[in-house]
A and B are shown apart, each in its own frame.
Chain A
């Protein structure tokens, strides 16, 4: 069974806050849920499926379902880090296609900034029962250096340069200048990126995404529900998911799980990368974007550096407009998990509701792709392809 055309994105909401000193984590989840339901024109009582991931407080979905006062018949708390919510769109479509629910709510929220979290430079320990922990944690794996090693190898194998990576940030900044909610609205140059302080070789500060509070929510609905609503209709055409890991020590940092989740999503959707008008690509770091673009098939492996150069990702300038909200690099990376916001901007583009300065003309087919976890060790890749009806 395919999920193609079996579900629609009926509502979206992005929390405007970027520093939530005055709000609780659960409250942020509730506020984004309310926002997405209002956007869809649905009521809380219509929700019969709930999806969340590791950012939600409590045991799986239980505390949030309680707090939100939901009565649901389907739950899913699959956690693949920042890509979870893209994966949830696929899972929600599956549940709807199987008749398990009709209106699925996906929420994300977090307050790493209010909590003063050293997000990228502090080793993360998931507990010593994690089988890899004893063999990795003593060496200081952090988010920054586990992505940086991928960039280092890419440069070694393919001659990719820091200047080429910088173009990704430059493109994001060109888009962010039009987003009043973006954390970093100033347009930056390649020189400014490569001259910013080194965080973990070869990634500079401006190769890294922002740390922000906030969140977002998505409503995925049955076609009958979507057709009863007044909003422009955005259909789920295909989805793919894949974990990539260390393969027992056969480590190859030259590709990501997008090499598997991407083709699966394209096959289900029955389209190819050249059909895509707009791309939301997870941008925890500039290297994340480069790897995913190659693995999704937007350019040949190893040619990503050339592909992203000279503004090729800037809306109205290049061939593949990406992250027109400014992305994680400039706009927002709530809870250090950037997957959900990728879906939001793709939906805005397909509805024609992106900022006029970055709106892609005749945007009828878009992709949202994410990488959760660590690009250099183990990560979950998730891809969705969405179509304006």
Chain B
């Protein structure tokens, strides 16, 4: 199994609500949203808290450490890749890819760390690689 998964990534389109997330990604930082009213973190980031609907949500950097909650290697495509849900140390779970590894050795519960990958003409996106 190949180690690299260099497929062309479709670019995300930032909007006024999410621009700070993508600006931080360009600096190599993963931002989460935390609600100042109820204290809960959420993902993907929203202006209004999806738990209490307060508009007092604040950006907060994530440590970049996480564990694989589930994954699947898509095989019936020209460049196989691993989609995954990674649960961050901060408690939220995000959809992502696990990259730069032997796709056949990915396991649920595996510790992963944050990396950023370029997209096709858009901002970089957060992905994870086994520790």
Contacts and interface: CB of A to CB of B under 8 A. Distances in A.
Q: Tell me whether A and B are bound partners.
A: yes
Contacts of B97: 139-140
Given A201-B73, A249-B42, A250-B93, 10 more contacts: A121-B76, A128-B13, A135-B95, A136-B44, A139-B97, A140-B7, A141-B95, A149-B72, A152-B72, A197-B76
29 contacts: A129-B15, A134-B12, A134-B22, A135-B12, A136-B95, A137-B12, A139-B95, A141-B95, A144-B74, A145-B72, A146-B83, A149-B70, A149-B84, A149-B85, A152-B71, A198-B75, A199-B75, A199-B76, A200-B73, A248-B42, A248-B50, A248-B51, A249-B41, A249-B42, A249-B91, A249-B93, A249-B94, A251-B93, A253-B69
B74 to A, nearest CB: 5
Interface string B56-82: 000000000000011111111100010
Interface string A151-183: 111001000000000000000000000000000
Contacts of A356: none
Nearest to B45: A135
Most B CB atoms within 10 A — which of A123, A135, A138?
A138
Interface of B: 7, 9-15, 18, 22, 40-44, 46, 50-51, 69-77, 81, 83-85, 87, 91-97, 108-109, 119, 125, 127
Nearest to A205: B76
A148 interface: yes
Given A145-B83, A149-B85, A251 B69 contact: yes
A153 B75 contact: no
Given A199-B76, A200-B76, A134 B14 contact: yes
A138 B12 contact: yes
B108 A142 contact: no
B83 A153 contact: no
Contacts, number: 121
A375 B46 CA distance: 23
Contacts of B11: 138
A274 B120 CA distance: 53
Contact of B44 (A135, A142, A250): A135
A250 B50 CA distance: 11
B12 A149 contact: no
A253 B70 contact: yes
Given A121-B77, A138-B12, A253-B85, A248 B71 contact: no
A212 interface: no
Contact of B125 (A123, A138, A152, A200): A138
Contact of A153 (B44, B76, B108): B108
A241 B71 CA distance: 28
B68 to A, nearest CB: 10
A291 interface: no
Contacts of B43: 135, 248-249
Given A139-B83, A148-B72, A132 B44 contact: yes
A153 to B, nearest CB: 4
A46 B72 CA distance: 49
Nearest to B123: A134
A376 B51 CA distance: 20
A131 interface: yes
A146 B18 CA distance: 24
Contact of A156 (B81, B92, B108): B108
A150 interface: yes
A377 interface: yes
A138 B70 contact: no
A98 interface: no
A141 B83 contact: yes
Contacts of B96: 139
A131 B42 CA distance: 14
Contact of A250 (B22, B75, B92, B95): B92
A133 interface: yes
Considering the complex of A and B, which 10 residue pairs feature the smallest CB-CB distances, nearest first? A249-B92, A134-B12, A249-B43, A148-B72, A248-B42, A135-B44, A251-B93, A128-B13, A153-B70, A248-B50
A335 to B, nearest CB: 21
Chain A CB within 10 Å — which of B44, B46, B83 has the most? B83
A121 B84 CA distance: 16
A200 B95 contact: no
Nearest to A152: B70
Contacts of B42: 248-249
A153 B67 CA distance: 13
